[in-house]
A and B are shown apart, each in its own frame.
Chain A
């Protein structure tokens, strides 16, 4: 048996009790990477084995000395490659950062390190988190561990695949429009997108600043709660960081949903939703109903406006956020150029992939004078209306349940040819980011192709505990199913 078969908190307990060591855990992660990474390609960078073992030994000593007492001390973790790690290559899966080693570490990762995390490597993603399949990575696509010719989802596809394929105990992802929840659903793992402002964005290389949020990806809800408790913090370095009343998420791990008011937005179960996904999600809802939850259908409205509003806002912010990559200070620089502007142009033409360029162009366009009001301001107003629609819904419901994605994981190559189709795949996750809400994706079945299905639970701002409670109660009714590669 591999120590990667079990959950992160369970492994943490075994390490702190001395039953196994942090070094054993790290070695099991590395062994699995040795076995499956060539097929899955979850990582852009796996750290040097000697460095990992050295860190595991230090943590083990730290546990003995009482420095590390948290539930995750000594547990191997993978970090999405858009979070800065001091001295460790951080690429955002882009050619333009192919040599970038940050001079500092992201706040969320520092929080993990302070609690004794052992970092195994940096995971693959869609380039600059732009994409829903992890196919836009400069370092090659990640393959779904359940079915290697399918995508793992994205943009945190590497993190989700690494957790599903037992190449780490848990991982950090980031979610701008569904980038944690959708790949979690495609890979049969659990992921949380926290309320905007809960986890510091300091050191997260920005895609859409007003939407980005770091969150946990793990095998189960309890792990996610423990990870979120570790990474969430009020950070004065991030002006959008929020000082929350409580950072206790584990207290929501009660197997009790009696009286929990659950809203099912009819608009999320209509046209375009795969039948197998629909029935799996509704079956899960029935389970919750059986456990005492009060379920009701309602009209959320404005659903069709979420995707255009999202792509306008996220692309606008991205066009500005990504302007700093021009070859002057760090990263890739074109080898041959004539003069400054030609250097910028060639560096960016050669350094960015097609999807990133598409969004930079879209974002630059919607911010241009003459178009700003018609596109960007209108999108901001739509965002505000979507938030209002959710506010209204949360007056009646504790939790809103929806699919995480309209289908299970598509085959590799199917999405790239039709970006609009790929954008439409974000329909169930995007509104949550626009409204700044927390959302969780939990496995709820496997389709006839053998691919996992995820159910999404959405809570009101700062009400992670409601969705954690609901997800945990549901999770108690089924076993964790691991992918074929791990069996």
Chain B
């Protein structure tokens, strides 16, 4: 490469909102469900049906706008975007073009070099999701499932302010955190509740004009986004270096092949014939309503971190990790509220929870156990009703199935045995069975006692209180100590 290049990236992020019902009808938004069971005349585009706006969608969209420093358009409108596709039952999508609900915002991100920069948000608009096509692998037909049709979305359109994949990821993580803190969406990239399209161009470093951009779609993970950006940057530089011209087009990322291919070029870009949606009246967000939404904004991460440092005696590192995910912070606070020691709660979240998430290939948003059961577990461990090893085993059960640890320990006889009489008998049995170790101890190799402790624990199937076992052995061999 003879010249130095700069990559310019803007994102279009779609976020599925966590409303119980769809944006324009009363159907459930629940993921899954047998095909076409969460449907009605409205979300299947039946003739004569009419949309009615779900107010919660406006509230979520406005709250995201407020949290990302946008100006809220208190008089906004819906428009129709016309295009033919069978997953779109009316063959138009109700969206916002002319007067989106939020404009001119931005969020601050940390750059690789440890600096800070603001990524501008051009607009946030509300729209409806489409259904899903299922292609019949045996026949020549395709089927359509309208369960997702009409699920509310917001589209967050950034300014072309990002200059690297790292900045893109930092921006997405920031958005995700804000939206999760608001409870407006779970933002799961793998389930499609958060989707990002990458608009990317390259230019010579120092150039004032932007290069020709492409849009890459179908990016289902941070990893895919990073790879697609690297791939597309290299592709565009190659074209320019070899004297060619980048074509403005939409490309689709293939995650298994780690390669993008063109979907459609600017020439066959569709004319969406947008016009104001005549079936909906303009949305007027009164000052009172806006104030009400503002007053219900939650405590965001920065405020939470400061409060944790003040209220709880846990390390800064822990605070950073726990507040990094709304879900973890919620569990932390709720468990502490049940009387558990903050540091102990933090330990369970930082160590075992993270370990199990990694092992199960999940993210913190997937955590589904209840604070009550974690609090009970901590209580069982504190009172030495169970030992540490058993506690870990029980926690895995809580993590996977949210079992009640008290009941589980009782049902499976996992309570720690600290009855001296019972343990003494077992220890004596172990001593009799291991004459070699006994010889070693008598010869002054005190370390061999550890082996006897282990054997006793094994004999007790892990339920013995190790402290008691140690004490019994020490007593037994006290003349050699």
Count class of interface residues, chain B: 20 to 34
- Over the window 251-263 of chain A, the binary record of Cβ atoms lying under 8 Å from chain B Cβ atoms (1 yes, 0 no) is 0000000000000
A329 touches B50 (CB 8 A): no
B47 touches A372 (CB 8 A): no
A-B contact pairs, 8 of them (CB 8 A): A102-B41, A201-B50, A202-B50, A203-B48, A209-B278, A209-B279, A317-B275, A372-B275
In this complex, which of A103, A106, A236 has the most chain B Cβ atoms within 10 angstroms of its Cβ?
A: A103
Binds B, one of A17-25, A67-75, A319-327: A319-327
- Over the window 223-238 of chain A, the binary record of Cβ atoms lying under 8 Å from chain B Cβ atoms (1 yes, 0 no) is 0000000000000111
- Complex contacts, A369 vs chain B, CB 8 Å: 271, 273
In-complex Cβ contact of B48 among A84, A239, A341 (8 A) = A84
A239 touches B273 (CB 8 A): no
- Complex contacts, A100 vs chain B, CB 8 Å: 47
In the docked arrangement, what's the CA distance between A319 and B274, Å? Answer: 12
A240 touches B84 (CB 8 A): no
A367 touches B280 (CB 8 A): no
In the docked arrangement, what's the CA distance between A236 and B86, Å? Answer: 29
- Over the window 76-88 of chain B, the binary record of Cβ atoms lying under 8 Å from chain A Cβ atoms (1 yes, 0 no) is 0000101010100
- Complex contacts, A104 vs chain B, CB 8 Å: 41, 46, 49
- Over the window 46-86 of chain B, the binary record of Cβ atoms lying under 8 Å from chain A Cβ atoms (1 yes, 0 no) is 11111111000000000000000000000000001010101
Does any Cβ of B come within 8 Å of A463's Cβ?
A: no
- Complex contacts, B448 vs chain A, CB 8 Å: none
A103 touches B50 (CB 8 A): no
Does any Cβ of B come within 8 Å of A364's Cβ?
A: yes
Residue of B nearest to A370 (CB): B271
In-complex Cβ contact of B52 among A236, A320, A325 (8 A) = A236
A83 touches B48 (CB 8 A): yes
Contacts of B231-287 to chain A: CB distance below 8 A: 271, 273-275, 278-281
Does any Cβ of B come within 8 Å of A99's Cβ?
A: no
A320 touches B80 (CB 8 A): yes
Interface size on A, residues (CB 8 A): 44
A84 touches B275 (CB 8 A): no
Does any Cβ of B come within 8 Å of A295's Cβ?
A: no
- Complex contacts, B80 vs chain A, CB 8 Å: 320
Shortest Cβ gap from A369 to chain B (Å):
5
A239 touches B46 (CB 8 A): no
Does any Cβ of A come within 8 Å of B89's Cβ?
A: yes
- Over the window 202-244 of chain A, the binary record of Cβ atoms lying under 8 Å from chain B Cβ atoms (1 yes, 0 no) is 1111101110000000000000000000000000111110000
CB contact under 8 A between A84 and B47, given known A236-B52, A364-B273: yes
Shortest Cβ gap from B156 to chain A (Å):
24
Does any Cβ of A come within 8 Å of B399's Cβ?
A: no
In-complex Cβ contact of A102 among B47, B52, B90, B92 (8 A) = B47
Task: Name A's interface SS.
Answer: loop
A329 touches B89 (CB 8 A): yes
- Over the window 368-409 of chain A, the binary record of Cβ atoms lying under 8 Å from chain B Cβ atoms (1 yes, 0 no) is 110010001000000000000000000000000000000000
In-complex Cβ contact of B278 among A210, A237, A330, A368 (8 A) = A210
Shortest Cβ gap from A151 to chain B (Å):
26
In-complex Cβ contact of B44 among A84, A106, A329 (8 A) = A329
CB contact under 8 A between A239 and B275, given known A104-B46, A205-B48, A340-B86: no
B90 touches A238 (CB 8 A): no
Shortest Cβ gap from A90 to chain B (Å):
8
In-complex Cβ contact of A238 among B44, B45, B50, B144 (8 A) = B50
A320 touches B275 (CB 8 A): yes
B279 touches A328 (CB 8 A): no
Does any Cβ of A come within 8 Å of B91's Cβ?
A: yes
A237 touches B92 (CB 8 A): no
A204 touches B275 (CB 8 A): no
Shortest Cβ gap from A375 to chain B (Å):
11
CB contact under 8 A between A205 and B47, given known A320-B273, A329-B89: yes
Shortest Cβ gap from A461 to chain B (Å):
15
In the docked arrangement, what's the CA distance between A326 and B47, Å? Answer: 12
Contacts of B273-326 to chain A: CB distance below 8 A: 273-275, 278-281
A323 touches B144 (CB 8 A): no
Contacts A344-B84, A367-B82, A367-B273 known; list 5 others, CB within 8 Å.
Answer: A202-B48, A239-B50, A239-B279, A240-B279, A369-B271
- Complex contacts, A90 vs chain B, CB 8 Å: 47
Q: Which 9 A-B pairs have the closest CB atoms?
A: A323-B91, A367-B273, A209-B278, A210-B278, A203-B48, A205-B47, A84-B48, A205-B48, A324-B45
In the docked arrangement, what's the CA distance between A22 and B53, Å? Answer: 41
In the docked arrangement, what's the CA distance between A92 and B280, Å? Answer: 23
- Over the window 344-376 of chain A, the binary record of Cβ atoms lying under 8 Å from chain B Cβ atoms (1 yes, 0 no) is 100000000000000000001001110010001
Does any Cβ of B come within 8 Å of A192's Cβ?
A: no
CB contact under 8 A between A103 and B41, given known A204-B48, A320-B92, A328-B86: yes
In the docked arrangement, what's the CA distance between A369 and B272, Å? Answer: 8
- Complex contacts, B84 vs chain A, CB 8 Å: 323, 326, 341, 344
- Over the window 53-77 of chain A, the binary record of Cβ atoms lying under 8 Å from chain B Cβ atoms (1 yes, 0 no) is 0000000000000000000000000
Does any Cβ of B come within 8 Å of A165's Cβ?
A: no
Does any Cβ of B come within 8 Å of A316's Cβ?
A: yes
In this complex, which of B48, B89, B278 has the most chain A Cβ atoms within 10 angstroms of its Cβ?
A: B48
In the docked arrangement, what's the CA distance between A201 and B278, Å? Answer: 12
Does any Cβ of B come within 8 Å of A97's Cβ?
A: yes
A324 touches B271 (CB 8 A): no
B41 touches A368 (CB 8 A): no
Shortest Cβ gap from A449 to chain B (Å):
38
Contacts of A188-207 to chain B: CB distance below 8 A: 201-206
- Complex contacts, A203 vs chain B, CB 8 Å: 48-49
Shortest Cβ gap from A478 to chain B (Å):
38
